[in-house]
Structure 1
Amino acid sequence: MSFLKRVVILCYVTLGLFTGSFFLLAFLNFLDVRSMMEIFYAVSFAENLKLVTGIIAVVLLFINFIFYSVFSTGRKRENALAFDNPDGRVNVSLGALEDIIKRLTGRLSEVKDSKLNITISKKGLKVKVNMVVASEVSIPGLTSRVQDLIKKKIQDAIGLEEEIEVEIFVNKILPDQGREKVQSDKQETQDVSEPGIPFHGYRA
Structure 2
Amino acid sequence: MSLPPWRPLLRGARQREGRSPGTTWLQLATTAHDGTPRVRTLVFRGWSSAGELELLTDTRSDKPSELLGQPRVELCWLFRKAREQFRLRGSSVLVSAEQEPEALRDHWQRLSPSGRMVWAWPTPGDCFCPEGPWPQEVADEEPIPSHLLILRLALDRVEQLDLKPHPHLRRCWELRDGWLEQRLNP
Using the size of structure 2 for normalisation, the TM-score is 0.25
Higher helix share: 1
TM-score by length of 1: 0.24
Higher relative contact order (CA closer than 8 Å, sequence separation 6+): 2
